């Protein structure tokens, strides 16, 4: 949710700034985009697609998540000269650290689960059991690097309830910065030439 918001705001503000400066809006300097696409495929297959998610073992799903995050980090490093990409890389490192430290999934506390899904069966889950797509329920005492876990929630009044981590916030800032930066000096509207 927070990443989608960063993309939308970054694109809207970046486009508005480009128009205001009389430039075209372009995302220049981004290389190895194929790596970002390939990096997401294991996550999608192992965690998000219901038809394949139930067929994949916990260990393989964990390996897919870690591998996917590592590949995204490689993509960020290869594009590190792009403004905002190092910020995005720091967020990926924070998420990868907490995922590895907690057995290959993003930890989430029972209290956080109750906050976003009060009617859920979270009281029936035991420590270490998967919740949602990429999360694993762990008590705060059992969580390594708890301050990096999925612990922040969207406001209660939000129609979409979601949780996110500090790493997600940093990634969102990186994405926003990448999309807001000016891309080129090409004029948005060609100047009229004198007759």
Residue-wise pLDDT tens digits, 162-186: 899 999 999 999 999 999 985 554 5
Domain count, the chain: 1
Give per-residue pLDDT as tens, 27-80. 778 899 999 999 999 999 998 888 888 888 999 999 999 999 999 999 999 999
Q: Are strands 106-108 and 135-137 parallel, antiparallel or unpaired?
A: parallel
**134 in a structural domain:** yes
**172 in a structural domain:** yes
**140 in a structural domain:** yes
**185 in a structural domain:** no
Using CB atoms within 10 A of its CB, is residue 58 exposed (0-12), middle (13-18) or buried (19+)? middle
* Boundaries of domain holding 137: 2-180
Buried b (16+ CB within 10 A) or exposed e, 129-146: ebbbbbbbbbeeeebebb
The pLDDT value given to residue 195: 46
* Entry pTM: 0.85
**133 in a structural domain:** yes
Element (DSSP H or E) covering residue 31: none
């Amino acid at each position: 949710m927070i990443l989608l918001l960063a993309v939308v705001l970054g694109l809207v503000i970046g486009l508005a700034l480009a128009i205001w400066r009389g430039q075209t809006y372009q995302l220049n300097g981004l290389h190895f985009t194929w790596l970002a696409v390939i990096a997401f495929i294991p996550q999608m297959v192992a965690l998000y697609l219901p038809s394949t998610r139930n067929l994949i073992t916990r260990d393989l799903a964990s390996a897919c998540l870690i591998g996917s995050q590592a590949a995204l980090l490689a993509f960020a490093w290869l594009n590190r000269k792009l403004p905002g990409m190092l910020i995005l890389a720091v967020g990926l490192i924070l998420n990868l650290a907490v995922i590895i430290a907690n057995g290959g999934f993003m930890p989430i506390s029972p209290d956080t689960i109750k906050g976003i899904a009060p009617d859920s069966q979270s009281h029936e889950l035991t420590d270490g059991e998967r919740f949602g797509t990429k999360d694993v329920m762990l008590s705060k005492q059992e969580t390594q690097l708890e301050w990096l876990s999925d612990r922040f929630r969207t406001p209660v009044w939000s129609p979409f309830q979601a949780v996110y981590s500090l790493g997600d916030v940093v990634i969102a800032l990186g994405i926003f910065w990448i999309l807001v930066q000016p891309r080129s000096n090409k004029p948005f509207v060609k100047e009229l030439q004198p007759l």
